[in-house]
Structure 1
Amino acid sequence: MSMGVNLRKVGGFRKVGSLRTVRGLRKVARLTRRSPRVDLSHPARSPLGSSVVKCVTYRKGVRQSTARDDDLVEAVTRVRKDDDGFVWLGLHEPTEAEFGDVAELFDLHPLAVEDAVHAHQRPKVERYGQSLFAVFKTVCYVEHAELTATSEVVDTGEIMVFVGRDFVITVRHGRHGSLGPLREQLESTPEQLAQGPAAVLHAIADQVVDDYLAVTEAVQNDIDEVESEVFSPTGGRTADPGRIYQLKRELLELKRAAVPLGRPLQVLATQPMRVIAPEIQAYFRDVDDHLKRVADQIAAFDELLNSILQAHLAQVTVAQNEDMRKITAWAAIVAVPTMVCGVYGMNFDHMPELRWQYGYALVMGVIATACCALYRGFRRNGWL
């Protein structure tokens, strides 16, 4: 769809669809009142619980002061009329009804809209006409006082980004990964925002990968803790293998978020795109380098956890073998008096030393001597 058609659509949406917009906003407000869950992870989040987190216009990297930041139609009309700047619209878990007018206004592809609403997508980058659609998996380290076999270590979410010549739409899923601090950071460096929507896309990708690095460092502390426990003097008996398996599961969650992002970042860094200037692509290559570091750390952690688990199983096997040797040694010692007493317990009249005055003392002496000899032999061989 051409830019002129889009502008006509914006004008019609403004004039004819204003009543529908008001009704839609009222419907959103009613739905919000029924749902008490509101993300207040950052002050930019609307206290009303609407899916619209922020709608801001930028010109030459400077935020434009308006009477109403969330008047999307007015902002888009002004930007396209002046052919200068771009609009950054932030959404949080929008419904199909809430996102429908936005998709119509910006002429977003239905497949991308469906992915943005329903989430649970792999990291990817797709081109639809003159716009770009990117999916990032966000991660957050879940603090815990003690790692157990059921502890949640890594929590994941998603950020979908629509990028056009004059707009950026971010759709966030999950209760972490707020883009409010990132928006404030970018606004403090107007020269970066002046490069357009591609600069926002790069900043989001950079923040997502930086979060990967932070989570891997936190997970390493948990791995070090488990490793110290396993290789402690009593690790073979007291270490919980469930903690190791739990760390491997959570590491797999991190791997599913980080590793598939490698190919999309390579596409953003190497393939020519209309909405990304060549000078911005160099910054995506830097983000890709950081992601490769994360992938290497995840692979190393996985190998280390496998080694820790195998070492723990080997320690358990050794401990069991030691227990079996001790049981066998004591059974051999007990077998001596059992055998002697069994022999003299038989009902025969003619047995050696049966009626001798010192027969009992002799038998007990023989039993004690044999048991002591066996005990010293087992101790010398490390069985006891």
Structure 2
Amino acid sequence: MSMVGGLRRMARLARRMRRVDLSHPARSPLGSTVVNCVGYRDGERLADAGGVAETVRHLRKHTGRGGFVWLGLHEPSEAEFEGVAELFGLHPLAVEDAVHAHQRPKLEQYGDVLFAVFKTVTYVEHERLTATSEVVDTGELMVFTGPDFVVTVRHGRHGSLGPLREALEARPEQLAQGPSAVLHALADHVVDEYLAVVDAVQDDIELVETEVFAPRTGTPPDPGRIYQLKRELLELKRATVPLARPLEALIARPPAVLDPAIRPYFRDVADHLARATEQINAFDGLIDSILQAHLAQVTVAQNEDMRKITAWAAIVAVPTMVCGIYGMNFAHMPELGWTYGYPLVLSVMATACLLLHRGFKRNGWL
């Protein structure tokens, strides 16, 4: 691995280590379905009112307009999500998608509730890329955005929203814009992770590219590693490419539930997504070129081996022919009774072999 690639990997690990702080109230172990339920008013976090239903009732009773609830869930079952759906009036079709997951990125509106699906991705660190290495791990994030609530449903072992919640709470002026600001922050967070993963995958591609085009010193590169990168890029493409249409819908035909002040910021998210998509497409084409170059190198190496084998076979054919002729056991053959016949034949065979070896060497066959 190059020094630059190693420094990039150390920086990624350091950033992830700084983001892990389980003492913050916005986080809980993955074994808990309800990760957090917090009420906000004018960008400020409200005191804990108890469970989910209590928090919602307290906010709607005492805060009036300008307040909202942010409920975070992790892989809830149908029974666990049933009460939440009833509390917020969520559409059954959206509830089914949120519970069972395995959805494409999309944006749907049910009355005054906006339902968005994002594919989350993370880069899987590895010491060495192999033909079976997992490079990209994907998950899903479903977001219900209503007039006074945001419900996030996360699927997968990564993509904790605790750091994002911390960042928003540190900027109350942004959080004061309501659920629309949370939706924008979530979309921006997901797309920024795309860019981070793309940069990390670039290191692996550069490493494979260097090995393919480096002077051959030992075992040739494993083509399975190139295919593995191709498969992982396909997984990354499935997460990023379908998201372009929902973002375009938010920009061109924004729903009424979206705050007009937030709408322009989705253009920036769409620009970042376009950059990530362009890089992924470029990497896809680059990997195809690397694979074709590797196969061409293998073909050239095989041709060189065949030329060497052919050259040596031609050299060996001369003494084989002479020995074959004089081994036919005829009674009357030239020079059989001559004293110098044997050394003369050996000299002729050696000279012919040396001339052939010199000719093949000059032409690059040996």
Per the TM superposition, whether the score is higher than 0.5 is: yes
Out of 60, 68, 80, the position equivalent to 2:60 is: 80
| CA offset digits 1:88-135 (Å, max 9, x no partner) | 000011011110011001110000000000111000000000000000
CA RMSD, aligned part only? 1.5
Q: Is 1:230 aligned with 2:216?
A: no
**8 Å contact kept, 1:123–1:264:** yes
Partner of 1:53: 35
AA of the residue aligned to 1:56: V
Instruction: Classify 1:243/1:83 alpha carbon distance in 2 versus 1 (closer, same or farther; 3 Å).
Output: same
CA distance, structure 2, for counterparts of residue 119 and residue 381 of structure 1: 64
CA distance, structure 1, for counterparts of residue 157 and residue 232 of structure 2: 18
Unmatched 5+ stretches in structure 1:
1-39
**8 Å contact kept, 2:49–2:55:** no
CA distance, structure 2, for counterparts of residue 235 and residue 131 of structure 1: 61
**8 Å contact kept, 2:49–2:58:** no
Deviation of 1:47 after TM superposition, in Å, equals 4.9
Q: Which contiguous aligned blocks of 4+ residues in structure 1 show a shift greater than 3 angstroms?
A: 40-49
Q: Is 1:248 aligned with 2:230?
A: yes
**Pairs aligned (count):** 343
AA of the residue aligned to 2:95: V
| CA offset digits 1:269-326 (Å, max 9, x no partner) | 2213121122211110100000000000000000000000000000000000000000
Out of 354, 362, 366, the position equivalent to 1:372 is: 354
Partner of 1:188: 170
Unmatched 5+ stretches in structure 2:
1-19
Q: Is 1:104 aligned with 2:86?
A: yes
CA distance, structure 2, for counterparts of residue 61 and residue 217 of structure 1: 34
Partner of 1:360: 342
| Within-5 A mapping of 1:11-160 | 42-43=22-23, 44-47=26-29, 49-68=31-50, 71-81=51-61, 82-84=63-65, 85-160=67-142
Deviation of 1:259 after TM superposition, in Å, equals 0.8
What SS does the corresponding residue of 1:97 show, helix, strand or coil?
helix
Partner of 1:21: none
CA distance, structure 2, for counterparts of residue 189 and residue 101 of structure 1: 31
Deviation of 1:360 after TM superposition, in Å, equals 0.6
Instruction: Classify 1:191/1:78 alpha carbon distance in 2 versus 1 (closer, same or farther; 3 Å).
Output: same
Q: Is 1:345 aligned with 2:345?
A: no
**8 Å contact kept, 1:79–1:166:** no
**8 Å contact kept, 1:41–1:175:** no
Deviation of 1:41 after TM superposition, in Å, equals 8.1
CA distance, structure 1, for counterparts of residue 100 and residue 244 of structure 2: 23
CA distance, structure 2, for counterparts of residue 185 and residue 346 of structure 1: 94
What SS does the corresponding residue of 1:280 show, helix, strand or coil?
coil
Out of 246, 250, 264, the position equivalent to 1:268 is: 250
Instruction: Classify 1:65/1:141 alpha carbon distance in 2 versus 1 (closer, same or farther; 3 Å).
Output: same
| TM-score with structure 1 setting the length | 0.87
CA distance, structure 1, for counterparts of residue 29 and residue 364 of structure 2: 70
Deviation of 1:150 after TM superposition, in Å, equals 0.2
Instruction: Classify 1:48/1:293 alpha carbon distance in 2 versus 1 (closer, same or farther; 3 Å).
Output: closer
**What percent of counterpart residues are identical?**
73
Deviation of 1:78 after TM superposition, in Å, equals 2.6
What SS does the corresponding residue of 2:158 show, helix, strand or coil?
coil
| CA offset digits 1:206-255 (Å, max 9, x no partner) | 01000000000000000000001111111896110000000000000000
AA of the residue aligned to 1:96: E
Partner of 2:262: 280
Moved more, 49-58 or 359-368: 49-58
